A and B are shown apart, each in its own frame.
Chain A
Amino acid sequence: MTDRESTGEFEGYGGRYVPEPLQEPLDQLAAAYDDVASTDEFQADFRDHLESFAGRPTPLYHAKNLSERYGAEIYLKREDLLHGGAHKINNCLGQALLAKRAGRDRLIAETGAGQHGVATAMVGALLGLETEIYMGKKDAQRQAMNVFRMRLMGAEVNEVTRGGEGLADAVDAALEDFAANVDDTHYLVGSVVGPDPFPRMVRDFQSVIGEEAREQFQNLERTGDFPDAAVACVGGGSNAIGLFHAFRDVRKTSETSSAAHQNAKRSEDDPVEFYGAEGGGEGAESSRHAAPLAKGQDDTIHGMKTRVIDDDVEVHSVSAGLDYPGVGPEHAMFHAVGRCEYTGITDEEALAAFRELSETEGIIPALESSHAIARAIQLAEEGEHETILVNLSGRGDKDMETAAEKFEL
Chain B
Amino acid sequence: MTGEQTGAIESDTEAAIREDHPALITYITAGDPSLEDTKEYVEALDRGGSDLIELGLPFSEPIAEGPTIQAAINRALDAGTTPARFFELVDELETDAPLLVMTYYNMILQYGSEPDVRPFVERAADAGLSGIIVPDLPAEEADPLRDACDDHGLDLVFIVAPTTAGERLNRIMSQVSGFAYVQARLGTTGARADVSNATHDSLTRLSAYDVPKAVGFGVSEGDHAAEIIDAGADGVIVGSALVDIIAEHGTGDAPAAAALESKARELKRGARRGGEQGNGHEQGREEAPEPEQP
Contact = CB atoms under 8 A, between A and B. Distances in A.
Interface in B164-183: 164-168, 172, 183
B141 interface: yes
Interface in A156-186: 162-163, 168, 171-172, 175-176, 179-180, 182
Contacts of A300: 104-106, 109, 136
Contacts of B168: 1, 23-24, 27
Given A19-B161, A20-B135, A299-B110, 16 more contacts: A6-B141, A7-B140, A15-B138, A16-B138, A17-B138, A18-B63, A19-B159, A20-B159, A21-B163, A162-B71, A168-B61, A172-B62, A176-B187, A179-B187, A180-B188, A302-B63
A297 B111 CA distance: 13
A401 interface: no
Interface in A1-29: 1, 3-8, 15-21, 23-25, 27
A298 B186 contact: no
Contacts of A303: 63, 136
A171 B70 CA distance: 14
A16 B63 contact: no
A25 B163 contact: yes
- Top-10 shortest CB links A-B: A180-B187, A24-B163, A21-B161, A19-B64, A20-B161, A20-B159, A298-B115, A19-B135, A17-B136, A300-B106
A15 B66 contact: no
A236 to B, nearest CB: 16
B137 A17 contact: yes
B206 to A, nearest CB: 13
B120 interface: no
Given A3-B167, A20-B183, A21-B163, A299 B106 contact: yes
A377 to B, nearest CB: 35
Contact of A172 (B63, B115, B159): B63
Contacts of B160: 20
A301 interface: yes
Given A24-B164, A182-B186, A176 B66 contact: yes
B174 to A, nearest CB: 13
A29 to B, nearest CB: 12
B250 to A, nearest CB: 21
Nearest to B172: A20
Contacts of B162: 21
Contacts of B109: 298-300
B139 to A, nearest CB: 9
The residue among A7, A19, A179, A297 with the most chain B CB atoms within 10 A of its own CB is: A19
Contacts of B186: 21, 179-180, 182
Contacts of B161: 19-21, 23-24
A27 B140 CA distance: 13
B63 A21 contact: no
Interface of B: 60-64, 66-67, 70-71, 74, 104-106, 109-110, 115, 135-138, 140-141, 158-168, 172, 183, 186-188
B interface secondary structure, majority? loop
12 contacts: A4-B140, A6-B140, A17-B137, A20-B161, A21-B161, A24-B164, A25-B163, A172-B63, A182-B163, A182-B186, A299-B115, A305-B141
A7 B70 CA distance: 28
Contacts of B166: 1
Nearest to B62: A172
Nearest to A163: B74
A8 B105 CA distance: 15
Interface of A: 1, 3-8, 15-21, 23-25, 27, 162-163, 168, 171-172, 175-176, 179-180, 182, 297-303, 305, 311
Contact of B138 (A1, A7, A175, A180): A7
The residue among A20, A168, A171, A301 with the most chain B CB atoms within 10 A of its own CB is: A20
A23 to B, nearest CB: 6
The residue among B165, B166, B186 with the most chain A CB atoms within 10 A of its own CB is: B186
A15 B140 contact: yes
Given A20-B183, A23-B168, A301-B61, A179 B140 contact: no
A24 B106 contact: no
Contact of A175 (B63, B172, B183): B63
Given A1-B168, A176-B187, A300-B136, A162 B159 contact: no
A352 to B, nearest CB: 34
A305 B166 CA distance: 26
Contacts of B172: 20
B160 to A, nearest CB: 7
Contacts of A5: 140
Contacts of A19: 63-64, 135-136, 159, 161
B69 to A, nearest CB: 12
B290 to A, nearest CB: 33
A305 to B, nearest CB: 8
Contacts of B105: 17, 300
Contacts of A297: 115
Contacts of B165: 24
The residue among A4, A21, A172, A179 with the most chain B CB atoms within 10 A of its own CB is: A21
Contact of B164 (A6, A20, A301): A20
A8 B143 CA distance: 13
Contacts of A17: 105, 136-138, 141
Contact of B187 (A21, A298, A305): A21
A179 B172 CA distance: 19
Contacts of A305: 141
Nearest to A26: B138
A185 to B, nearest CB: 11
A305 B115 CA distance: 11
A1 B167 contact: yes
A301 B106 contact: yes
B215 to A, nearest CB: 14
A20 B140 contact: no
Contacts of A168: 60-61
B122 to A, nearest CB: 20
